[in-house]
Amino acid sequence: MGIPILLNGGTGVGKTSIVREVAKELRLPLIDIRLSTELPENVGGIPKVIPKDGYFVKVLNKDFSPAFESGAVIFFDELNRSISWVRNAVMSVFFERTLGGKKIHPATLVIGAVNIGEDYKDADVMDKALLARFAIINVTTDTYELLDYLSERYPISASIVASKVKAIGNKIYEENRFNQLTPTLTPRNLEFAAKVIETYHDDPFLRKLLYTVISPDIADILLADLDFSLIRSILAGQDVEVEEEKVSVILAVVSSMPLKEDEFLNAIKFAKKMYKKFGLEDSIVGFLSNLARRNRDFLMRHIRYINNEFPNLKSVLSL
């Protein structure tokens, strides 16, 4: 979706490993940059004048070619340990998906990583304007996942860890405590939330994704009005009970979705049930109109059935 990602967590928690595995799974090259050791010109480019045309271009000191040509994972580690000039040099990647004045490939992922907390003395406070550009994922220590990892590679030593895994996990957490971040509330983040809903409306993973791009209080409001598990049940033809105040929202969402033929028919059955129970003629008319635009073939195929289901709305359906 073109939303840059910010991983926030304690030191050694596995942020780099996560990014490496993501790049491997997506079969994209990884461009791993530790910003705390970089100079601005290395990541932002060096201005160079073109004699013939008389204007400047930026020449990059690092090989970012995969990010432009075929897609890559760009990982800016230690984002809040870099000097402000270095951070400013990479702002265009987060803000505009450009690097050195050139647009990066649509398949390129941009990921940053930070440690924020009292124990991280050399780290800068993250600016709100910068945080508002990211989907924020707090990476916490899962001791049992760590044990699985160790068991694969160090089976003898891992058996010693296993016997004290809970106590060791508590110690690790205490020593690597960090301040968890939440997304800020801005119109941009609301747009991020809309992108997530549009893309993952029928995915059980939606709830977790939504909390990475919008503040929790707004996410709660959106999820309360839009129960996608309920919508999935409706489209599967299950008999569900719905409160009257939620019917219009559900009908509006269902009618704007690309549906399979069985889902289309189940949506009609649900609308008929709601029509008989609550009336809501305006919502039903809007539902049928949107359904006709997005699923015209199914509507024409089943128009006689729909006319029979909504005999009082024949004049509307004929339009």
Instruction: Report the percentage of the chain scoring pLDDT > 70.
Output: 85
How far is 153 from 18, CA to CA, in rounded Å?
Answer: 17
Q: Is 287 exposed, middle or buried (0-12, 13-18, 19+ CB in 10 A)?
A: buried
Residue 50: predicted pLDDT? 56
CATH T-level topology, domain 5-141+176-181: Rossmann fold (3.40.50)
CB atoms within 10 A of CB 189: 22
Query: Residue for token digits 């390129």?
Result: 108
Phi, psi angle pair for 12, to nearest 5°: 70, 15
Helices and strands (DSSP H and E) totals, the chain: 18, 9
Per-residue model confidence as pLDDT tens digits over 111-145: 998 887 776 666 667 777 778 889 999 988 777 88
Using 50, 70 and 90 to split pLDDT, how confident is the model at 11?
Answer: confident
Query: 8 - beta bridge partners?
Result: 114, 138
How far is 139 from 230, CA to CA, in rounded Å?
Answer: 30
Per-residue model confidence as pLDDT tens digits over 167-216: 887 777 777 777 788 888 888 888 899 899 888 877 778 888 999 998 88
Token digits for 278?
């609550």
What is the enclosing helix (H) or strand (E) of 5?
strand 5-9
Residue 12: predicted pLDDT? 79
Contact 76, 113 (CB under 8 A): yes
Reply yes or no on whether the pLDDT at 155 is more than 90. Answer: no
Q: Where are the domains of the chain?
A: 5-141+176-181, 227-318
Residue 1: predicted pLDDT? 85
The rounded mean pLDDT for the chain is: 81
Contact 255, 296 (CB under 8 A): no
Contact 292, 299 (CB under 8 A): yes
CB atoms within 10 A of CB 77: 20
How far is 74 from 125, CA to CA, in rounded Å?
Answer: 22
Prediction pTM value = 0.68
Reply yes or no on whether the pLDDT at 62 is more than 90. Answer: no
